[in-house]
Structure 1
Amino acid sequence: MHNSQLGHQLAVNVTRSEDSGGLDGDTVWIDTEQTFRPERIRQMAEALDLDVEAILKRIHVARAFNSHHQMLLVEKAQELTQDFPIRLVVIDSLTAHFRAEYIGRGVLAERQQLLNKHIHELMRFGDIHNTVIYVTNQVHAKP
């Protein structure tokens, strides 16, 4: 299963009741590469005979335009926890913006420091809100 597809399946599953194996919660999907597909959510929900519209309403999608915006969206997700039971955060892909903005070995340390801060904030979010954090990443030979 492709990483983005797994994210879609997790987003559907998390909305299910605890009796049905879910977490009865909402998802925040931080989309860095325009991979979120509501039609895929629809297919998965229909296959499980679930209410498609109810599931889509529980998935909060935000497009990240750069690495700083991506980090800001995690802060905004914190605010959403006041109104919604966020049980899953998906970032697809975690490093795409960082890789595009910090090119070459000369900025590798800066990029890694910023990425480490971002990962730390995600881990903190998960701990505080009892939330699953799912990130995708592509492997590349060059930093």
Structure 2
Amino acid sequence: MGSRSTLGPLKPKTWQLDQDQSSAQGYLYSCSLCDENLVLSKLFINPRKVQLVFLDNCPGCGFELERTLKVQRSVLPPGKRLLTNLICKNVEELFEPGELFEAKLSRGSILLRDVQSDLAAGVGLLDETLALRFGELVTLQGEASNALSHLFCVRAINPLPPGLDSDVVFVDGGNVFDSYTVSRHAFNLGLDQERMKLRIHLSRAFTHHQLSSLITDELAQAIDQCYARLAIVSDITALYCDPDVKEKREAFDLFSKDIRSLATLAEQRNMIVVVTNLQSRSKAMDDVLARTAHVSAVLQDKGAHTQLTVTRHPFIPTGNTETATLDNQTLTRYL
């Protein structure tokens, strides 16, 4: 569990903060008019919550935070997770229950890292475990991977940190794209829902040959045209394992080639490619996903919680795993 020692008071002005770039990175909320510091947090906080805690008034100049609130990356002192202006009395209102003092990881090996994800879902423990970086192919197994991929979509488009302000290319191989879910996430983040949808470039495939063509012949061009930093391929084994596919070996070879193509694309474009697989249909294909991806993880619903098991990661020694337990009640608020 976290402790109160990870909290502390925040120096009043932005220019008074420590600029030692070796310290952990965080998010600074301040007034753009008078440089008054409000909150410095390791976790991203919805700006609306900061406004509410300060009653929408800057304690330094008194102007409305709706007009002057600024969010930017900044430096956290070592060992600290949250620093607040002395005026802030209701720290707990900045976070959802359990976010601030979250459980530590249960690790399959001794792994020391504090890496900021290039693509964050906004769920502290999940982001800390996955630690996604540009240049990676990420495979997510399990039913919950679809909901998580939609959240990644909106987070990538979000113009405010930790968003990427990027378009997203979504290749729907499982016919699972849900515009309602995207709208709900956009609403929760205070984003324009219709504008959000325009930044998701959706393509659907209905046969494994169509999906293969989208991946190998069209995806790179689509990414370049909209400068996307994130691409998602949904439920990728569904079409290759369709009962109507007669040439099983040919389908498997095509699948293997397409996965290698996605890994190469992520590296060459220095972007993140997320592949979901909602259920295990072929052990051989599961093995291809696991050994080709830079990051491979499984999401399993255990009733009261979801278990996230990372089976492959640049920071995990080969053969080891890393496990995190995500409370379903908390997770439901995000997914």
Same fold per superposition (TM over 0.5) = yes
Residue matched to 1:57? 198
Which residue is 1:117 aligned to?
A: 257
In the alignment of these two chains, the number of paired residues is 139
Paired residue type of 1:96: A
Higher helix share: 1
Counterpart AA for 1:28: V
Q: Does 1:32 align with 2:173?
A: yes
Which of these residues, 155, 158, 161, is aligned with residue 13 of structure 1? 155
Taking structure 1 as reference, are residues 121 and 142 closer, same or farther at Cα in structure 2, changes over 3 Å only?
closer
Structure 1 residue 81 displacement after superposition: 2.8
Partner residue in 2 for 1:128: 268
Larger RCO, structures 1/2 (Cα 8 Å, 6+ apart): 1
Question: Quick one: structure 1 residues 10 and 122, their matched pair in 2 at CA, closer, same or farther if it must change by over 3 Å?
Answer: same
Please give the root-mean-square deviation of Cα atoms over the aligned residues, in Å. Answer: 2.1
- Tell me, yes or no, if the aligned pair for 2:241 and 2:282 is still in contact at 8 Å: no
* Alignment TM-score, normalising by the size of structure 2: 0.39
Per the TM alignment, residue 102 of structure 1 is displaced from its structure 2 partner at its CA by: 4.2
SS state at 1:86 partner: coil
Contact 1:86 1:129 in 2 (8 A): no
Q: 1:92 aligns with which of 226, 231, 234?
A: 234
One-letter amino acid matched to 1:113: D
For the 8 Å contact 1:4–1:92, the answer to whether it is kept is: yes
User: For the pair shown, which has the larger CA radius of gyration, 1 or 2?
Assistant: 2
Tell me by how many angstroms 1:46 deviates: 0.3
- For 1:39 and 1:135, locate their aligned partners in 2 and report how far apart those are by CA, in whole Å: 21
Structure 2 gap segments, 5+ residues each: 1-142, 285-335
Residues 1:117 and 1:142: Cα distance change in structure 2 (over 3 Å): closer
User: If each structure's strand is expressed as a fraction of its own residues, which one has the higher value?
Assistant: 2
Which amino acid letter does the alignment assign opposite residue 9 of structure 1?
L
Identify the residue that residue 67 of structure 1 maps to in structure 2.
208
Shift of 1:135: 1.2
Task: Give distance in 1, aligned partners of 2:195 and 2:211.
Answer: 26
- Deviant stretches of 4+, over 4 Å: none
**Deviation (angstroms), 1:33:** 2.4
Q: Provide the C-alpha distance between the structure 1 equivalents of 2:234 and 2:223, rounded to a whole number of angstroms.
A: 20
Q: TM-score, normalised by structure 1?
A: 0.86
